[in-house]
């Protein structure tokens, strides 16, 4: 539900996935379930490799390609990742991802 709102609420976000600290898919939007699991696994690997290159855990990631971008934010419990159009504004996408992450926090 959170991932779907993220996709529906932003014209630049094409797909979104949310996975837990163990890598299990929690939610997805704009993508079929099999592809969502694959995207979540790729995002998990991206976070893992970013952590390996940093002195401390990375809280947000932005990767730009010629065709679009991948963004991810995380807390101790979840990672929210998305694929965007090339022209997406990073600050707005990261804000939306952090907002989505906040919706997942226990009340």
C-beta separation of 7 from 29 below 8 A: yes
- For the chain, the domains span 2-104
pTM of the model: 0.94
Q: What is the number of alpha carbons within 13 Å of residue 17 lying toward its C-beta?
A: 21
pLDDT tens digits, residue range 72-87? 999 999 999 999 999 9
pLDDT tens digits, residue range 14-29? 999 999 999 999 999 9
The arrangement of secondary structure in 2-104, i.e. its CATH architecture, is 2-Layer Sandwich (3.30)
């Amino acid at each position: 539900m959170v991932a779907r709102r993220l996709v529906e609420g932003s014209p630049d976000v094409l797909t979104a996935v949310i996975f837990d600290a163990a890598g299990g898919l929690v939610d997805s939007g704009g993508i079929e379930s099999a592809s969502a699991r694959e995207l979540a696994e790729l995002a998990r690997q991206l976070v893992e490799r970013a952590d390996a290159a940093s002195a401390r855990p990375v809280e947000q990631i932005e990767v730009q390609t010629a065709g679009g971008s991948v963004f991810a934010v995380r807390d101790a419990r979840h990672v929210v990742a998305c694929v965007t159009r090339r022209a997406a504004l990073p600050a707005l996408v990261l804000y939306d991802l952090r907002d989505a992450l906040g919706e997942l926090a226990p009340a």
